[in-house]
A and B are shown apart, each in its own frame.
Chain A
Amino acid sequence: MTDVPFTDASSGPARPARTGSLLEADARTRRRNAAEARFRLYGIAAVGVGLFFLAALLYAIFSNGIGAFQQTGYTLQVEFREDVLDKTGNRDLEDIKSVKTFAYSPLLRAAMLREIETHGIDTPLADAKVTGFSSPLDKLFSDGARSTLRDMVLADPSLIGQTVAVRILASSRVDGYLKGRVSRESIERDKNLDAVHLDLIDKLRDAGVATKGFNLAFITGPDASDARPEQAGLGVAMLGSLYMMIVVLLLSLPIGVAASIYLEEFAPQNRFTDIIEVNISNLAAVPSIVFGILGLAVFIQFVHLPQSAPLVGGLVLSLMTLPTIIISTRASLKAVPPSIRDAALGVGASKMQAVFHHVLPLAMPGILTGTIIGLAQALGETAPLLLIGMVGFIASNYPDGAISGFLAPNSAMPAQIYEWAKRADPAFYERAWGGIIILLLFLMTMNIIAIILRRRFERRW
């Protein structure tokens, strides 16, 4: 016994007698209490540090990203001049289509000049010359503004000849200036805007022509090329993520649950199932990029599925999600008390009836929780998408229908964020943070659903 050093029962010959008043803590008790107090302090400190980092993270994300949800634009009275847009005057759609995008530039400039005039704004730009096809005024507008007008006319040729109030997207520099991203100092190194532009913008803002509005296009719109950050949106990438999640859910939930039920309830306990078990746990720890290269080798190079397709992304992410679902499903099957199985078998239910009538319904909340958490992980996963070509793809077209949703090249939310963060223009950087906010909102919603499910169906035996 002497080799077990119990501090409370030392085996020395003279045992100290337990004496003294209860009203007064002895030295041992005081030491113990001090240790406990210290331990609590450590705990509180640890929680505090964690909360501090969380707060710092959230602050960084929101302060950087919230700007992406607002976009500067001008409300202009655009006159769709017939002599520019439809010289023949017969409203033939083919003729109207033959008018190229840059032909709409004069309309934009004229509309802007009209605002400058009506608000009595004094600016040298009012007399700026048009050289070739460009004018210094053009730098105020988004590159996409002209095609916005053209799309309006093509959708509704009766606009020709009318003057309509249109909200025109400002260029990303103007947007950056009004959001404080672009300053007067920084434009000196920048050939896009001059001080005269900034003076004009200040006055346009004061006149209520240049305003910031909610940027729905950022949430629903397609990505845009490097030159038009003000038009870039997450919408198409979100669809890509959605289609991937559908694939992941449809594949990994049934396969994962079936595998878990078999392993947990039916498979004999032997070396073989032990090996499977160890391998599933190991699979959960495999770096996701490994699944990516596996997907590239198997699904794209061997099976010849299309590159960058959400179907392939979904397949790869399913592989990644399966272990998560299997592990959580097995845990929730294990948590169903064996007495329930005995009860079912005892009244003559077959094993399968016992599982499907009693065990599975009880394990369902746990299974769904695990599935949602697995999906959330998959939703935020970027590395494997790198290898199957979903990162770097410019998601500029909406899929036309479910089939192309699965098979046409697309991006995914985290891939799109990575793509934006990579681009040079700080306007894209802001959008990357904004994308992270959206992604986090999705993940948070999914986790909250998981928590609610768990709370709601939690059973006490």
Chain B
Amino acid sequence: MYDNPDLARTTVTRDIKIAAHGCQVFYGDTHAIKDVDIDIEDKTVTAFIGPSGCGKSTFLRCLNRMNDTIDICRVVGDIRLDGEDIYDKRVDPVQLRAKVGMVFQKPNPFPKSIYDNVAYGPRIHGLARGKADLDEIVESSLRRAAIWEEVKDRLDAPGTGLSGGQQQRLCIARAVATEPEVLLMDEPCSALDPIATAQVEELIDELRSQYSVVIVTHSMQQAARVSQKTAFFHLGSLVEYGETGHIFTNPTDPRTESYITGRIG
């Protein structure tokens, strides 16, 4: 909940991709997300920041219904993708997840070949017409994930044999291969070294031209570097949401300021 009237003026208006209203999440009796309203814009990188355990991952996982896989998790409220309620009974989460791709904190390539890792999504969604088409999808996805040059000679090698940074970019390639519209990334760089982090950040910036990217990050610098909009969560609530530059230089809420200056977190 942000109620700073200034924000409305400073925001450059872009199309809204995901709109959440009154979103609440419960794990059993734990109230993990409390009444979050947020509009996530298209072709924008949105960063979720906040101290550990404040619910960033939980909220992110609401956006592609990955929370469905947790038995005790219950989501209330209204989350719309392009105006359609993704928690509507008629929505098949499988279709939703093809549209809203996800990259996880720990690189998790399938223990299969690099090629099969990327080709898996297109295969199960029937995106490729024939082998040549699939090859093309694999190549373009790997290119978009800026890893093609490194792996083009060993597409049959196991994906698990790559370095951590390469694995994470492979996972990004796997996610973009299904041609999603939104890409969710949960601390994608936390397991990576600085060089790999820089590569992934560069990649995120490029992905912005086609996708709406939502990235959870622990690093304030990273949020400042890659995102256009930043949302600050604290204890399950959305404390502040706005232009990244604005949040970092001129936060409205004292809690945001304390977090950014390193007093809570």
Contact of A268 among B71, B97, B103 (CB under 8 A): B71
Contact A339 B106 (CB under 8 A): yes
A343 touches B104 (CB 8 A): yes
- Say whether A357 faces chain B, with CB atoms less than 8 Å apart: yes
CB of B125 closer than 8 Å to a CB of A: yes
A348 to B98, Cβ gap below 8 A? yes
Tell me whether chain A's interface is mostly helix, strand or loop, or mixed: helix
Contact in complex: B104, A339 (CB < 8 Å):
yes
A347 touches B97 (CB 8 A): yes
Interface of B is mostly: helix
CB 8 Å contact bits of A343-386 with B (1 = contact, 0 = none) = 11111111101000110001000000000000000000000000
Tell me which of B5-13, B108-116, B227-235, B239-247 binds A: B108-116
Tell me, yes or no, whether A459 is within 8 Å of chain B by CB: yes
- Complex contacts, B124 vs chain A, CB 8 Å: 347-349, 353, 357
Report Cα–Cα, A346/B103, bound state, in Å.
Answer: 8
Contact between B120 and A347, CB atoms less than 8 A apart: yes
A269 engages B97 (CB within 8 Å):
no
Contact A345 B106, CB 8 Å, known A269-B71, A362-B111? no
Contacts of A351 in B (CB 8 A): 69
B109-139 CB contact bits vs A (8 Å, 1 = yes)?
Answer: 1110000000011001100000000000000
Q: Indicate the size class of the contact surface on chain B.
A: 20 to 34
CA distance A190 to B21 in the complex (A): 100
Residues in chain A near residue B174, CB distance under 8 A: 343, 347
Give bound CA distance, A309 to B106, whole Å. 55
> Considering the chains assembled together, what is the distance between the CA atoms of A350 and B121 in angstroms?
11
User: Nearest A residue to B92 by beta-carbon distance?
Assistant: A350
Q: A290 at interface (Cβ–Cβ under 8 A)?
A: no
A226 at the B interface (CB under 8 A): no
25 contacting pairs across A/B (C-beta < 8 A): A268-B71, A340-B108, A340-B110, A342-B66, A342-B69, A342-B102, A342-B108, A343-B108, A343-B110, A343-B171, A343-B174, A346-B66, A346-B97, A346-B101, A347-B124, A348-B97, A348-B124, A349-B94, A351-B69, A353-B124, A357-B120, A358-B110, A362-B111, A459-B111, A461-B160
User: Besides A347-B124, A348-B96, 18 other CB < 8 A contacts?
Assistant: A269-B71, A340-B110, A340-B111, A342-B66, A343-B108, A343-B171, A343-B174, A346-B64, A346-B101, A346-B102, A346-B175, A347-B97, A347-B98, A347-B178, A348-B97, A349-B120, A350-B94, A459-B111
Q: Which residues of chain A have a CB within 8 Å of any CB of chain B?
A: 268-269, 337, 339-351, 353, 357-358, 362, 459, 461
Chain B residues with a Cβ under 8 A of chain A: 64, 66, 69, 71, 94-98, 101-104, 106, 108-111, 120-121, 124-125, 160, 171, 174-175, 177-178
